Amino acid sequence: MALLSKKDTNLILDPLADNNPITIQVLGICSALAITAELKASIVMALSVLFVLGLGNVVISLMRNIIPSKIRIIVQLVVVAALVIIVDQVLKAFAYELSKTLAVFVGLIITNCIIMGRFEAFALGNGVWRSFLDGIGNAAGYGIILIIVGFFRELLGSGTLLGFPVLGNPIEKTGLYSIGYENNGFMLLSPMALIVVGLLIWVQRSRNKALIEEN
């Protein structure tokens, strides 16, 4: 494809697995864990970060030659904060219930280390189009982990996906519940998010031995 050279494709695909922001680079964990009890909240969070990171990378990349390096952190923070305010206001206007569940974690996208990390490491030194792709790729890598964690926590915790019962009805004992299956309410509590991510890291690193760390 002429639109995306091989190098550009790698910009998007690398962060999805082998250079994933959450499981490998250890960035942006803060907001990732707290809101993954439901799949819907995880998807909205992933989309918000996609918007902020994609657009923020473009803005920073456009300004990269005029930002004095001494005050670049403040400039970056202002750009992110402005984008996050847009996301927050849009969520409040069109998905009020959801914005209540996400609460302060929308605001915390500002200090999501993935965003500052990509600004510093990529957008300040690269062109607009490549920065955009890099932003989209990293946000997607972040989103994938969020969605996987949200999927398992909602499925095992409340037996639903996006609010639809998929394992049968626990009250009328249909589906899986007819053979004695029970929801594991523990999955909805916040510590389980950490453990699920820990297990994900385990799976990923046993598949790809090159990623194993020294103790």
Partner 1 sequence: MLEHVELFFKSIFIDNMVFATFLGMCSYLAVSKKVATAVGLGAAVIFVLAVTVPLNWLLDQYLLRDGALAWLGPEYADYNLSFLSFILFIATIATMVQLVEIVVEKFSPALYNSLGIFLPLIAVNCAILGGSLFMQAREIATLGLAFNYGFSSGIGWFLAILAIAAIREKIRYSNVPPPLRGLGITFIITGLMAIGFMSFGGMLTGGDEAPATEPTTAQKSEKEKTTLEKEEQENAVSYNTLVKE
Q: Which residues bind partner 1 (CB under 8 A)?
A: 23, 26-31, 33-34, 37, 73-74, 77-78, 81-82, 84-85, 88-89, 101, 103-104, 107-108, 110-113, 116, 158, 171-172, 188-195, 197-199, 201-206, 209, 212-215
Which is nearer to partner 1, 166 or 202 (by Cβ)? Answer: 202
* Region class of 38: left (phi > 0), else alpha (psi between -120 and 50), else beta: beta
Closest distance between partner 1 and the C-beta of residue 7, in Å? 28
CA distance 110 to 136: 17
Which is nearer to partner 1, 12 or 200 (by Cβ)? Answer: 200
Decide: 80 and 118 in contact? Cβ < 8 Å: no
- CB-based contacts of 84: which residues, under 8 Å, 6+ apart? 48, 52, 106, 107, 109, 110
Which is nearer to partner 1, 130 or 141 (by Cβ)? Answer: 141
Closest distance between partner 1 and the C-beta of residue 79, in Å? 10
* Region class of 175: left (phi > 0), else alpha (psi between -120 and 50), else beta: left
Identify residue 88 by its one-letter amino acid code: D
Closest distance between partner 1 and the C-beta of residue 27, in Å? 6
Closest distance between partner 1 and the C-beta of residue 99, in Å? 12
**Radius of gyration over every alpha carbon of the chain, rounded to an integer in angstroms:** 19
Which is nearer to partner 1, 2 or 93 (by Cβ)? Answer: 93
